[in-house]
Amino acid sequence: MKKKFMIGLAAASVIALSACSAGTDATTPAADGDALTPVTVGVIPIADTAPLYLGLEQGFFEEEGLKLTIETATGGAAIVPAVVSGDYEFGFSNLISLMVANDKGLPLEVVSPAVASTGDVDSDFGAVIVKGDSPVTSLADLDGGTVSGNSLNNIVDTVMRSSIDRLGGDSSSISFVEIPFPDASAAVENGQVDAAFVVEPFVTAALESGQRVISYGYADFDVNLDVAAYFSSAATVSADPEMVTKFQAAMTKSLEYAQANPDAVRAIIATFTATPEEVLAKIVLPKFPTEFNVDAVTALGDAALEYGVVETAPDMSTFLP
């Protein structure tokens, strides 16, 4: 079952953008003389957020009358407070971090899909990696070990716990630690952790360095899994619904463009990550949906409840747009 992402389109005349990068923005006024509305979006500089950068490059946000600035952080949990405080109008976060915020009563609203699993359990954009000579061959072998994710109590450790227990392991015996995605492969190689959950382009970079994948964690949890979303504060949604609608329209264009243009996705990733060209050519790209899969997000909420990440599973009728 899918929940449609409904938007209202608000068009504005455009002047095409020629370049983009993290921390940059579109500064040209709208062609009809109206000033662009400034919006700042906090993201993680990973393959998942490529559509936002593409939308800036292609002028989709300017078409909707928005002057976009992109700021980066290491994880969704760090972006949430910036959106709540009003420093950012929008943010990118994995869905578990948003569920935790919802559970704590933080005034946040999901406004757009962002990224989803490819559905391929043998080749996805998120994976658990180990050293090439590690004795670990499956998630069930990690009992008593140390595993890293980019932040704690988010989608990474939640889906891993679920899959480990389903395969006969004991997730309660594992120590989860926080290491940013760019540093995770080195942590595996030097023995700081036994395994690490990483996403592209760091999955392919790890494989190129001789490390191994023991699980494509998102797809192993649910082949239809929505991984992350864009969100705003309830105050922003209430105060400026027109601006939110414009952002949603621009994101829909950006997601559709990214899904249809994988070469453009690879090229734009090179502008905000230090990824060698030969690695970019091999990375597995995620899906960029414009609708949420309600069943998969519900299963994710149930897992968050089971592992004590939230006290109450979110009501999808209000949690998703």
User: pTM score, two decimals?
Assistant: 0.84
pLDDT for residue 31? 42
Tokens of 269: 């990733």
What is the topology classification, in CATH, of domain 126-221?
A: D-Maltodextrin-Binding Protein; domain 2 (3.40.190)
User: Is the pLDDT confidence value at 77 over 90?
Assistant: no
Token pair 């949604």 is at which residue?
Answer: 237
User: Is the pLDDT confidence value at 16 over 60?
Assistant: no
pLDDT for residue 76? 66
Query: Which segment, 99-103, 165-169, 199-203, 296-300, is predicted with the most confidence on average?
Result: 296-300
Starting at the edge strand that comes first in sequence, how are the strands of the sheet with 212-215 ordered? 175-178, 146-149, 195-199, 126-130, 212-215
- The share of the chain scoring above pLDDT 70, in percent, equals 88
Sorted by where each begins, the domain ranges of the chain are 2-117+224-319, 126-221
Question: Which tops the pLDDT comparison, 22 or 195?
Answer: 195
Residue 257's Cα: distance from chain center in Å? 17
Fold agreement (2-117+224-319, 126-221):
yes
User: Please, are residues 140 and 164 in contact by the beta-carbon 8 Å criterion?
Assistant: yes
2-117+224-319 maps to which CATH number? 3.40.190.10
pLDDT for residue 46? 87
pLDDT for residue 96? 93
